[in-house]
Amino acid sequence: MRFKFPLMAIGLEVAMIVLFGVFVQYENVQNSGQPSNTSSPAVMNSFFRLYPLFQHVNVMIFVGFGFLMTFLKKYGFSSVGFNFFIAALGLQWGTIIQGLLNDHGEKFHISIHSLISADFSTTTVLVSFGAVLGKISPIQVLIMTILEIAVFNGNEYLFAEIFQATDIGGSMVIHAFGAYFGLAVAGILYRSNQIWEHHNKQSDIHSDLFAMIGTLFLWIFWPSFNSTLAVPEEKQNRAIINTYFSLAACVLTSYAFSSLVERRGKLSMAHIQNATLAGGVAVGTCADMEINPYGSMIIGSIAGIVSVIGFKFLTPFFATTLRIQDTCGVHNLHGLPGIVGGLASIVVIAMGASDVSTTAMQAATLVTSIGTAVAGGLITGLILKLPIWEQPPDEDCYDDCVYWEVPTVDDSLSLSRFQPM
Amino acid sequence: MRFKFPLMAIGLEVAMIVLFGVFVQYENVQNSGQPSNTSSPAVMNSFFRLYPLFQHVNVMIFVGFGFLMTFLKKYGFSSVGFNFFIAALGLQWGTIIQGLLNDHGEKFHISIHSLISADFSTTTVLVSFGAVLGKISPIQVLIMTILEIAVFNGNEYLFAEIFQATDIGGSMVIHAFGAYFGLAVAGILYRSNQIWEHHNKQSDIHSDLFAMIGTLFLWIFWPSFNSTLAVPEEKQNRAIINTYFSLAACVLTSYAFSSLVERRGKLSMAHIQNATLAGGVAVGTCADMEINPYGSMIIGSIAGIVSVIGFKFLTPFFATTLRIQDTCGVHNLHGLPGIVGGLASIVVIAMGASDVSTTAMQAATLVTSIGTAVAGGLITGLILKLPIWEQPPDEDCYDDCVYWEVPTVDDSLSLSRFQPM
Amino acid sequence: MRFKFPLMAIGLEVAMIVLFGVFVQYENVQNSGQPSNTSSPAVMNSFFRLYPLFQHVNVMIFVGFGFLMTFLKKYGFSSVGFNFFIAALGLQWGTIIQGLLNDHGEKFHISIHSLISADFSTTTVLVSFGAVLGKISPIQVLIMTILEIAVFNGNEYLFAEIFQATDIGGSMVIHAFGAYFGLAVAGILYRSNQIWEHHNKQSDIHSDLFAMIGTLFLWIFWPSFNSTLAVPEEKQNRAIINTYFSLAACVLTSYAFSSLVERRGKLSMAHIQNATLAGGVAVGTCADMEINPYGSMIIGSIAGIVSVIGFKFLTPFFATTLRIQDTCGVHNLHGLPGIVGGLASIVVIAMGASDVSTTAMQAATLVTSIGTAVAGGLITGLILKLPIWEQPPDEDCYDDCVYWEVPTVDDSLSLSRFQPM
């Protein structure tokens, strides 16, 4: 870590500045899809109309994902800190990659849509990061961010331009993609020497409460995530309403099934922190379709159930039999609910409730998203496995001490903020 | 807890889905109160205009109330977790009840107003929950949510349709109602065997800081709560400004009186977490009236004083003499300031600063809100007292261990996230 | 503390109410800078258009600054609590002072712009408070708030009316001003008896995570801070985009340089919590200029580097050689990056990328802002040094116990919420 990480980070930032200098321009406000009467300041352009939703998504990315992963009692600095780093890098790199792809290598403009799309690129990395949390170094974090965003944008181009399918909230192309990419990386980085249940892989009362900060902000702003790129007004309103009620229904089934599967009917914080959000993932693809509130509540209810069952039974199975250690259980929060979302869209389109895509193209998107994710994740995993990226040794996994100056618990040894020189 | 709670939650969610399927429709965007020029996407409909405020209210409900109640050091999971459950259930149930009442049993549309109104229904339950925090089981939480939202909507119908009174921020119909409903339940559930000061009923440094997260988000977004249903533009702007300055004034008197009543002039976190918000409650009824900023500052100042004095002197009196144990002191944050708000509206209307209601109708609203709340709370309390709802025993009150898998403090016994099967 | 603080707070609130009663009016919506077609409710006035951004700024002020300062393990209550008090007082006092200055002592209107400007006044005090955190009493907090906001508004009047310079995000007039004001106060209040590294001046794992809540909300909403007073649409959009990319670039250089300067390449939480925000400070003056995204990324990159180096080398130098103890390192987060921002604007204007001001006027603003801040801070420091304000003794610095009822760590002695009477 002595010089590799800082020099790579500086090099990347220099590269970003050069790429932005060559390719990126401000959007001409007159071109922002508004009618010509924008001379009146009172008529808002789409930038300003969507800005509050864009900020909701940013709260999800920086606070939501960041704190959701602080549940590990010794790994809070890394969870929220590496999440921060991934997001700041990802939003720059995502802007570039997507602009180059869409505008075929010419100069391109920054609109509110491109900012939001870059956020979505970043989200996939944050999802994948959850699968390898505690097991990779900052350099590996950096490399995974660069590679995954490139693969994501390739898959998205395929889905949007070739298949012309629909996935407004990204159930398939963001959540399932991110989950299976992360699982593939985690599978390659499997640590066979590691005792299965690492002694650091535990929560405490406070770390679980910090994680709830993440959960609640993700839950609250998920309707913005699923609606921000939808066509105004009707579809956008619908995406908000559908996501809201899917999430609400999902909370009830998550609590019910958590109590059902745990010993003596108790609730598990791991389920409440994660499964309650599965409704937001699963309703993503159908969010702007005419599925009616009750339809989204059915999707959300199923997602909550699937997610809790995944946490209870699938994660241990993955860790032991499939040799894939999924730290945060992203398969249960993003993988399975993402598949539920893709399948739901196939059902809904087959029933005629939407004509923006076909069942075949939706199925193709689901399959290729997972396929691309697994292939991309395997290759990324193999690159990350090279013994030059300062991966933490088994005994130091899930421990901030490896990469951070950490204050000690002993009072007399607490961390001084400003060491004497 | 083994099966009762999960089966009731699943049953309720199935019932919600059926009710939504039968009664709920999307709003026709063309009918959303907009002029006919909505063909231009740049002209926002009221849905989108109010969406940021709606989300502010959601932050208050899920993060604000949820974390405000985490001040008990052993009860953080339940505080934020049951709050989450109440809110998710309440927003579905509130949507149904209110739609059925307003549209007389016919199919009804979901608008941004109905979403916000459902949030308001839910708020009353969260207020009441504070009075019984630590003393009721998840099943009791669920039953109280269902009953209180029904009673609330009955009272609101009375107030809005029969009295045609005004209470834009809900000082009377939300806050006073929620507080007295909760106090009535707490009175019925009085635990005479319990030593008055339960050893779990304590905060620690971190639990008090988590609670401040709740306080600050409630404080910041209270202007949105009080203004979101106000008539645009003039009244809505006024409701924001009045609430903002009432809250600001309230902070100063809360700090001053906390220091005055505590030993050696110290400040009490319980006062700062709660009394600083009383200004938002108390200005609610008058928020959209022409009371001028200085008028709202007077209301806020009084509310802060009343609230601190309530915490210091009334809560112990309630617990000992009246045999009502009010865990969070909701009487001081919502009850008394709600009454202040109702009385302020009577004064303001008597002085001629508003002609939307009459002093008689405002007084009637205040009295019937409290009366309905007490009656509803007593009946709810009697139902909750039935010995079939798995109420926690005295010694386990204010302790997460009864209903949650809780990580232990001892390092070697911390909670593993994923138990081997 | 027994009576001085509460009586001064009450007296101030009474004074505020009187001043508001005499001078403050609601804004006439018809006069709010809108064209005459505001008869259509769909056309939003500027109040409502800016309200979401105003609330972003409030989240920064109350949650962002409040929690950023909770990094001290024994001083969390005071950090978030005194921050709350300063903000509530400052927004009232800032409204008055600025209205009186701009309207020459006549009655003035409250617009969304005046609310935001009052927030900006308050921000300077919160910046300065970071320099003296842990070393001053609530009475001193109160006096500093009153004095600094007065000086700030004087300087702003000079800058806006006389120099007619530009500083849309306040790099110079808010951040550099606040930092140097605070440093001057800290210099006067230098505690020579105090051992340099106070045993309470330490973080722990949880206090550092609480501080990250502050960091992330500040980071996310900084684009709103820098853009909220910009001219719509083009300049406002640009201010958002420039700030966003400056911050993103700043995160990468902060992480890189934190790792470079710390032992064995580790990361320092103090750097991540603070230096990652320097990009928002430094891009402030140029935020609405045509500097292009790559330009703002250069500014942000430099700010991150300067800030980390400041934390590592300048803060110890200040504390020992200059005898200025800067608790939070505000010189590194606000002082230096503020100067970078001012210098950047001079370069940008010299290069012809903006014609709203001249290099001379920008330089004059930078110099007079720092000069006024230092002069104002010295005088304020001398007033605060009077031995009548109950300043904490050396051994009680950075400790909540002096001013708060604090729950003890020992379980049996934890703080009961409601003492028996």
Q: Does residue C30 belong to any structural domain of this protein? A: no
DSSP-assigned letter for residue B329:
-
What's residue B39's pLDDT?
40
Beta-carbon contacts of A196 under 8 Å, excluding residues fewer than 6 positions away, are A319, A320, B420
Note if the bond before C156 is cis, omega within 30 degrees: no
B81: nearest CA in chain A?
A272
What's residue A409's pLDDT?
60
Q: Using CA of residue C412, residue C416, residue C420, residue C421, what is the dihedral sign?
A: positive
| Cβ–Cβ gap C62/B255 under 8 Å | no
Q: Does residue A115 belong to any structural domain of this protein? A: yes
Contacts of C278 in chain A (CB under 8 A): none
Q: Does residue B20 belong to any structural domain of this protein? A: no
- Helices A112-132 and A177-188 cross at an angle (nearest 10°) of 40
Task: Walk along chain A (421 residues) and give the pLDDT tens digit of each residue.
Answer: 579 999 999 999 999 999 999 999 998 755 444 444 444 433 356 888 899 999 999 999 999 999 999 999 999 999 999 999 999 999 999 999 999 998 887 899 999 999 999 999 999 999 999 999 999 999 999 999 999 999 999 999 999 999 999 999 999 999 999 999 999 999 999 988 765 678 899 999 999 999 999 999 999 999 999 999 999 889 999 999 999 999 999 999 999 999 999 989 999 999 999 999 999 999 999 999 999 999 999 999 999 999 999 999 999 999 988 999 999 999 999 999 999 999 999 999 999 888 889 999 999 999 999 999 999 999 999 999 999 999 999 989 999 999 999 997 654 444 555 444 3
Neighbours of chain C (3+ CB pairs under 8 A): A, B
pLDDT band (50, 70, 90) for residue C1: low
Task: Report the percentage of chain C scoring pLDDT > 70.
Answer: 92
CATH number, domain at C66?
Answer: 1.10.3430.10
Please state the ipTM of this predicted complex.
Answer: 0.94
Domains: count for chain A: 1
Q: Does residue A79 belong to any structural domain of this protein? A: yes
What's residue C199's pLDDT?
85
Neighbour count for residue C371 (Cβ, 10 Å): 13
Neighbour count for residue A30 (Cβ, 10 Å): 12
Closest CA to A328 of A163, A236, A203, A190: A203
Q: What angle do CA B156, B159, B162 make, to 5 degrees?
A: 120
Q: Does residue A7 belong to any structural domain of this protein? A: no
Residue by residue, DSSP assigns A279-306 as HHHHTTTTTTSS-HHHHHHHHHHHHHHH
What's residue B29's pLDDT?
57
Beta-carbon contacts of B386 under 8 Å, excluding residues fewer than 6 positions away, are none
Which one-letter amino acid corresponds to residue B124? Answer: T
Instruction: Give which of B1, B51, B107 to mutate to test A binding, by max A Cβ within 10 Å.
Output: B51
pLDDT tens profile C50-88 = 999 999 999 999 999 999 999 999 999 999 999 999 999
| Cβ–Cβ gap A417/C203 under 8 Å | yes
What's residue C35's pLDDT?
43
Contacts of C47 in chain B (CB under 8 A): 233, 237, 240
Contacts of B234 in chain C (CB under 8 A): 29
Partner residue facing C40 (CB), from B35, B201, B257: B35
Range of the structural domain that residue C251 is part of: 49-385
Q: What is the mean pLDDT of each run of 10 residues along chain B (421 residues)?
A: 90 98 83 42 67 98 98 97 98 96 88 95 98 96 98 95 95 98 97 76 95 98 97 93 98 98 94 98 97 97 98 93 94 98 97 90 97 98 95 93 84 47 37
Beta-carbon contacts of B217 under 8 Å, excluding residues fewer than 6 positions away, are B59, B60, B63, B64, B67, C59, C63
> What values do phi and psi take at B357, rounded to 5?
-150, 180
Q: Does residue B147 belong to any structural domain of this protein? A: yes
Distance from CA of C333 to the nearest CA of A (A): 15
Which one-letter amino acid corresponds to residue C322? Answer: L
What's residue A37's pLDDT?
42
For B232-281, what is the HEC assignment?
A: CCHHHHHHHHHHHHHHHHHHHHHHHHHHHHCHHHCECHHHHHHHHHHHHH
Beta strand A108-110 with B415-416: parallel, antiparallel or unpaired?
Answer: unpaired
Helix, strand or coil, per DSSP, at residue B180: helix
Closest CA to C80 of C93, C68, C92, C96: C68
Residue C142 CA to residue C146 CA, distance in Å, equals 6
pLDDT tens profile B29-60 = 554 444 444 444 433 568 888 999 999 999 99
DSSP-assigned letter for residue C24:
E
Q: Does residue A399 belong to any structural domain of this protein? A: no
Neighbours of chain B (3+ CB pairs under 8 A): A, C
Q: Does residue A204 belong to any structural domain of this protein? A: yes
User: Mean of the pLDDT values across residues C322-328?
Assistant: 94
Contacts of B67 in chain A (CB under 8 A): 213
pLDDT tens profile A188-241 = 999 887 656 788 999 999 999 999 999 999 999 999 999 999 998 899 999 999
Contacts of A415 in chain C (CB under 8 A): 202-204
Report whether pLDDT(C34) > 50: no
What's residue C43's pLDDT?
39
Residue identified by tokens 């003499």 is B321
Contacts of B50 in chain C (CB under 8 A): none
Which one-letter amino acid corresponds to residue A277? Answer: L
Residue pairs between chains A and B whose CB atoms are closer than 8 Å: 218
Distance from CA of A154 to the nearest CA of B (A): 31
C249: nearest CA in chain A?
A13
